Amino acid sequence: MGNRLSKIATRTGDKGTTGLGDGSRVDKDNVRIQAIGEVDELNSNLGVLLAEALPDEMREELVSIQHDLFDLGGELCIPGYQMIKEEHVERLDALLAKYNATLPALTEFILPAGSRAAALSHVCRTVCRRAERAIVMLGKNETIHDFPRQYVNRLSDLMFVLARVLNRFAGGSDVLWHHDRKRG
C-alpha cells in the first residue's frame, strides 16, 4: 500500500464528490457511497462491541468479520471488483450453526436488550440490515455480485444469534416481548 494514506485532508471532496477505487468520481449521495457508508458504520459498531467483554473465540470471529467488512467496502468502492466470495458466506453459515446449537429454541419474540454486549450486538444487527438495504438498492441501479448481499444478510442473522449468546455469557437470558402486558 505504500503511502496511500499519507494525506487525509485532501480537500478533493469539498464540492460534494468523492473518488472511487477505480479513479472515477461520484456525488457523495450516490447509492454506491451510501452502501459503502452503511458497511463502514456497521464495522465501526462492531468495533464498539469488541470493546466489551466477550468470549475469546467470538472476539476472534468478530475481528475476522471486521476484516471481511473492510474487504466488502473495497469491493463496493471499485465497480466490477470482487472480494467477498461464497466461502465468506459459508463461514457465516458455519458460525450460525455453531452458535444456534448452543441456544434453546425461541418460542416468543425477544427484545433487543439484556447485557450491554448483547444490546450492542442488536445495534450491529439493525445497522447490518440497513447496509443490506443499501446494497440491494445499489444492485437495482448497477450490476454487483450476489455475495455481498448474501454476506450481510447472514451477518445480520448472526448478530441476532450472538446477542442471545452474549446474554447467556453475561449470566442472563433472552428478554422476552410480552404482547399481553398492560399498556399506558
Write out pLDDT tens, residues 65-91.
999 999 999 999 999 999 999 999 999
Could you give the CA distance from residue 146 to residue 127 in angstroms, rounded to a whole number?
Answer: 19
pTM of the shown model: 0.90
Find out whether 151 and 89 touch, Cβ atoms under 8 Å.
yes
Q: Which amino acid is at 71?
A: D
CA distances from 140 to 52, 83, 85, 143, 180 (A): 37, 20, 20, 8, 41
The answer, yes or no, to whether residue 106 has pLDDT greater than 70, is: yes
